Chains A and B, each alone.
Chain A
Amino acid sequence: MKTLLDMICPCHLVVNEGGNIQHLGPGLTKIISRDAYLHEDLFSVFHLTRPAGLATMRNVIDYTGRSITMHLRKEPDIKLRAVAVPDPMSNNIVLNVGFGIGVQNAIRKFGLTMKDFAPTDVVPDLLYLIEANQSAMSASKRLTLRLQGAKALAEEQAFTDTLTGLKNRRAFDVMLRHLHDTNEAFSVIMMDLDRFKYVNDTFGHAAGDAVLCAVADVMRRETRQNDILVRLGGDEFVMILPFLVDRMRLEQLCAKMIAGIEEPVRVEDIECRISSSLGVTSFFGGERIEISEILERADKAVYVAKSSGRGCFRFYETLR
C-alpha cells in the first residue's frame, strides 16, 4: 500500500487517528526531513488554514475528499493544497499534498525534480508552458520595442513639419544643399511673423497653432507646385523658389504673402491679427557661395525689413 501510494502520489503522508505522522511519501521528504518529522503531530508540523476550524483529526476526517489549504509552520509562504481520505484497511488517514498555482515557487524552494511528481501529473507540462510562454512573450516584446525604435527613428528622419504639413528644417537643409550643388538659379524668402508672440501669449497655444497653419495655407496658395515651403521652427518660415529670380515677380509674391498673412484668423470667437516681415535673396547660378552665406543674407534682409516698420519686405541685394 505504501509503495503504491509512493508511486501514484509521491507527495502524500499517512497519519493515524491521533494525528501522528506514520509515513512520508518520497516527494514530501524533500520538503520536510523524514527523521525530524516522522511520528510528529500533524497539527504541529502543518497549519491547516482553510476551511477554518480543522483543529482535530475528527474535523479532518469529516472533511474527507474536499480541498484543504495548509502550509508548513516553518514555511508559511508556500501554500499547500491537500485532500484527506481515511484508509479503509487501517485506521490511518492519507493526505495527498499538491502545490496549486504556486508550484514554481515550491519547486525552487525545495529543489523538487520531475521524479517527485507522478508520471501522470500535469505539473511538468504546466512548467513547460510557463517557460515556453515567457520565451515567446519576451521575443514578442523585443519585436515591439524594435518597432517602436524604428518608428521614432522614422519620425526623426521625416521631412515634414507635423503641425503645418510644410517641410521641416531637415528637409530644408537637404534641399538647399541640393540646389546649391546643382548650381541653378533660385531665390530664398525668409519670413518672420510680427505680433505672433502676442497672439500666442494672449490667446494661448491653440490660437498660435491656428495662426501658424493659416500662414502655411497662404504660402501654399501663393506659390507654385515645385516651390519648397518650410517651417524652420517656431514662427520662422522660409520658401525656396527654384529658377525664380525675376525682381518684379518676387515683389508681387512678397506683397501677396504679406496681404494674405495680414488677413485676420478666427479661432472660435477670437480674431487674431498678425503680419510678417520678409527678406529676399536671389542666386543666379554659377556663383561660388557657401550655404551659410545664403542664410545669412536672407536673415539680414529680414532684419532690415523688421526694423523698417514690419509688414514689409527687403531684398538683400538692394540693402544699403
Chain B
Amino acid sequence: MLGVVNKAIENFVITVHGGALWQQVLRSIGEPGLQFEPMLMYEDAKTYDLITALAQALGKPQIDLLDDLGTFLVTPPHGGAVRRLLRFCGVSFDDFLLSLDDLNDRVDMALPDLDLPQITVLPQTMDRIHVRVVPKWTGFAYVLQGLLRAMADDYGTLVFLDMRRDMLDVDCIEVILIDHNFSSGFEFSMAEGA
C-alpha cells in the first residue's frame, strides 16, 4: 500500500489522539519511532497491523475507528487539501456522489501508485444511491462512509448512510438523500487562497 495511507493514519492519530498514543501503537507493532513516507510503498499487512493495534489501544471497534478516519481525511484544517480536490467533483452533493464513479480515474491522475479499490455508484432512485466498494482493502468501505458523511455536511446536505452487503457479499454504502438544502454548507472557491 502506498505510504500516503499509513501517513494519513499517522496524522489522524497524532492530531486526534496525540503523539504518545501513536508511539505506543508503533511500539506494539514492533516499529518504534517509524515515520511513514507518503510516496514509498509498504506491505499491506503493516496498515492492518496499525488499525488493529490502534483499535485495541483506544478500546474502540475497528469500524468506528475507520469511519472517524474517513471524516478526518476531509475535515479542515488537516483534511483541507483532500476536501478541495473532492469538491471539484461536483457542484452539489448529489453531483458529487454520482461522480464517485470517476473517483478512481481522478485518484489515478493524482497518485498513480495509490491504486484505490474500485468504487461504483449504483443509483437506485433519485434519492437512494448505492456506493459499492470492491473488497480489496479490508474495512475501506467504512473509511469511505465517514468521508461521505463529512462531505455531505460540507455541501450542506442531510443524508442517511447505511452499510450493507450486496448479493455477492460486497460492502455497499446506501446513501439516502433527505434534505438537499439542510444547511448552507461551506464555501468552496475554485482557486486556492481566493
Chain A contact residues, CB within 8 Å of chain B: 104-105, 107-108, 111-115, 119, 124-125, 127-129, 131-133, 135-136, 139-140, 143, 146
Contacts and interface: CB of A to CB of B under 8 A. Distances in A.
B112 to A, nearest CB: 9
B191 A104 contact: yes
B189 A111 contact: yes
Interface of B: 4, 37-40, 81, 84-85, 88-91, 106, 109-111, 188-194
Contact of B194 (A111, A115, A128, A140): A111
Which of the listed residues B40, B88, B106, B111 has the most CB atoms from chain A within 10 Å of its own CB? B88
A127 B110 CA distance: 12
A127 B191 contact: yes
A127 B38 contact: no
User: Does more than half of chain B's interface fall in helix, strand or loop, or is it mixed?
Assistant: loop
B110 A107 contact: no
A114 B91 contact: yes
Given A135-B110, A139-B38, A143-B39, A128 B191 contact: no
Contacts of B81: 131, 135
Contacts of B90: 114
Contacts of B106: 128, 132
Contacts of B190: 107, 112-114, 124, 127
A135 B79 CA distance: 12
B166 to A, nearest CB: 30
Contact of B189 (A113, A125, A140): A113
Given A107-B191, A111-B194, A129-B109, A124 B88 contact: yes
Top 10 closest pairs, chain A to chain B, by CB = A132-B110, A108-B191, A128-B88, A107-B191, A108-B194, A114-B91, A139-B38, A107-B190, A124-B88, A143-B39
A132 B194 contact: no
Contacts of A114: 88, 90-91, 188, 190
Contacts of A143: 37-40
Contact of B84 (A104, A112, A131): A131
A229 to B, nearest CB: 35
B39 A139 contact: yes
A26 B187 CA distance: 19
B37 A136 contact: no
